[in-house]
Chain A
Amino acid sequence: MPSQVQGVLDALVASPPLQAYLIVGAIMFAIGAWGVLVRRNAVVIFMCVELMINGVNLTLVAFADFLPNAGGLGVSYAVLVLAIAAAEIAVGLAIVLAVFRSRRTVNVDEVTSMRG
């Protein structure tokens, strides 16, 4: 087996470096943030929020794996974040439904009754 092939195989089998996880997490977070800032549909905004949360979760899990001394603290944080995200989605979607019932729209630009 040529060594180049062997190297590619090794690279595929070996776990990727920490930076890879972090970069993916940052990209997920950035996409999510961009979506939160620019999309108008409240449901899509929620989906983008989920993306941000999961980007953060990814970094937490990655750190947990690469820092054994932390004792799995990152994983337990990730579980906590998942639980809170679920609760947040439940409340958030309920609000979106209530807004839709009263206004027949989920466009956040039209929901500005909190203007000071």
Chain B
Amino acid sequence: METVGQQLIITAIPALPALVFLVLALFGRVLGENAQYVAILGVTISLVFSVFALLFVAGIIPGGGAPIEFSKPWIDLGDGGVFSMGVLIDGLAAVMLVVVCFVSLMVQLYSGAFMEGDRRFSWFYAVINLFTASMLGLVLAPNFIQLYIFWELVGVCSYLLVGHWFEKASARDAAQKAFLVTRVGDAALFVGIIIFWSTTGSVGFEDISQAAQAGFVGGSLFTAAVVLVFVGAIGKSAQFPLHVWLPDAMEGPTPVSALIHAATMVAAGVYLVARTYDIFVQSPDAMLVVAYIGGFTALMAGTMALVKKDIKRVIAYSTVSQLGYMMLGLGIGSYTAGVFHLYNHAFFKALLFLCAGSIIYAMDSYNMFEMGGLRRRMPITFWAMVLGGLSLSGIFPFAGFWSKDAIVASAYEEHLYVLFAMALLTVFLTAFYIFRAIFVAFMGEPRTEAARNATESPGIMTGPMLILAFLSVVSGWVGIPEGFGLPIRDYFAAFVTPSDFATETLQLEEHAFSFLLGGVSVAVALLGIGVAYALYVQRPERSGALARRFAPVHTFLDKGWYFDALYGATFVRAASWLGRATLGFDRNVLGSLVGGVGRGAMGTGGLLQRLQGGGVQNYALFILLAVLVIGVIVGAQYAFLVVALVAVITIAAFAVGVKL
């Protein structure tokens, strides 16, 4: 990437949404609901530029074919080195750019109708654009410092958007929770960055990787730093044990959930691991941690989603679970499959959230057991959600199948059978919970008046849903494995590849596409759909009976494995104890100190007040005495004489005073 014009185009990708943020933040009041047109214009141009970057990196535009890389020094530390701001677009970043811009565009189109009449309409669009800009900046970052800046910006935006309806106490709490829980991860990431910087003297991804290869940092310190970076990813991507914020973040407006879950927020964690993959592969222990955290999270979140009544929470737990898959994929070394799942997931998860938003728009309820029979009232939403659900479940030949099957199959082929079992069980759970939600919401008879009167959402909402539904089906077709027998290339695997170094370090065997494993995974998913059908469509009373029979299990899952209660009893309680102790110290110790100084001044003043008797002659006496005292001090050599004089005059004065 040589020319200034091309560099400007690349810089404009994150700069345009940031500019839109400024415009909307300053002139939002004037623009009102016209803010959406400004925002959509900005993100559309960003999308066009992103596509340009993708085509350039892919070599379709002449002159391209190599990663785009340039940077400018930002903070010069002298001998300490230089922090630079720059751009690194390889296949991974190019795909992410397009996905982020595209999902953001869909969400912004959809929000125009969904958020109509909202009190802070233009502010909503402003923050959505800042969110998009932050994520794009994060994707472009070639070093940890730049990444960390945008990483934190993403966190701030999620706080603002989750708490968009801050009049509601639950939204405020959810926003704080999202911010604080991810902060735990951010702090760990920062410590990791500092370790890397202090040992290698650089914050660039490539530099750190090479310094580690050269042995500047290694052993347990290196593993610790890599795991700390991964803890940052855990926080952002809502992995166990920092997953608790994501379901609560459903308090935000539904388009925001779509954006957070598909492209901007939770994807950042997975992206971080993928971006720093050359560093991760050098620590096999850290890779195992990534794989097991991912596998366990996938299974755990899958079980939590089984019993939720809130349709958005089902999808939220599904995100946690699917992110677990991506981490699992990256951890076991199938880099391409993990990133491929991130890419496919963006489309079908955005679609599912927009469908849920469409239902909420129509009947103003989150509880799926207040819905029912919506299939006839909202056919477009129904079919879009079914397509999204099939893709999420990993049914052949929908997009989700290709990436999910690749992850599940490579877990088996790497002989990690525990992880394989977890992944396969999660396939069953995924298919079950998403079709449970679809069946309960859309099939059967309407359960409430609102459900009976629901109508299909306007075209500006169904339009993006249909586009995303189309992509949920076909997005995976760019990555059909060569071994599948179709006469098309595996474009994705050719484009998003781990570096040669990572491939050598991992020393993975090539495995041909396994029809057996693919068949097993589809069969398990179909089984999940079948069980959901049996329990919620054929004999709805059975599910209730089952829940009552296993009531403790049901409650355990419904409470999210009591993680909230556990954290409430430990960290939250400890934090509030610390807060109370600090408040007590402030009030009692510091407050007393300050108050004491004040009271001391008052007391001294009260004592001195008596001297001011109002008698002019007393004052004159004081003046005289003071002059004599000064005389004593100045004329110290005559001190004895003067002291005697003062004493005589004083005694005389008092004698006279008494007499008069």
Contacts and interface: CB of A to CB of B under 8 A. Distances in A.
Interface of A: 33, 36-38, 40, 45, 108-109, 111-116
Contacts of B552: none
Interface in B599-642: 609-617, 620-621, 624
B217 to A, nearest CB: 73
Given A37-B656, A38-B660, A40-B660, A115 B613 contact: yes
A33 B614 CA distance: 19
A108 B617 contact: yes
Nearest to B652: A34
B617 A36 contact: yes
Q: Which 4 A-B pairs give the minimum distances between C-beta atoms? A: A116-B612, A112-B614, A115-B614, A114-B614
Interface size class of B (residues with CB under 8 A): 10 to 19
B653 interface: yes
Contact of A37 (B612, B613, B614, B621): B621
A72 B656 CA distance: 40
A37 B616 contact: no
Interface of B: 609-617, 620-621, 624, 653, 656-657, 660
Nearest to A113: B614
A108 B657 CA distance: 14
B624 A37 contact: yes
A1 B598 CA distance: 83
A109 B615 contact: yes
Given A37-B656, A38-B660, 14 more contacts: A33-B624, A37-B620, A37-B621, A40-B660, A108-B617, A111-B614, A111-B616, A112-B613, A113-B614, A114-B612, A114-B614, A116-B610, A116-B611, A116-B613
Given A33-B624, A116-B609, A38 B614 contact: no
A112 B615 CA distance: 5
B648 to A, nearest CB: 12
A114 B611 CA distance: 12
B620 to A, nearest CB: 6
A112 B613 CA distance: 7
Contacts of B613: 112, 115-116
B609 A37 contact: no
Contact of B617 (A37, A113, A114): A37
A115 B612 contact: yes
A81 B660 CA distance: 32
B623 to A, nearest CB: 10
B626 to A, nearest CB: 13
A32 B660 CA distance: 18
Contacts of B610: 116
A108 B615 CA distance: 7
Contacts of B653: 37
Contacts of A114: 612, 614
Contacts of B621: 37
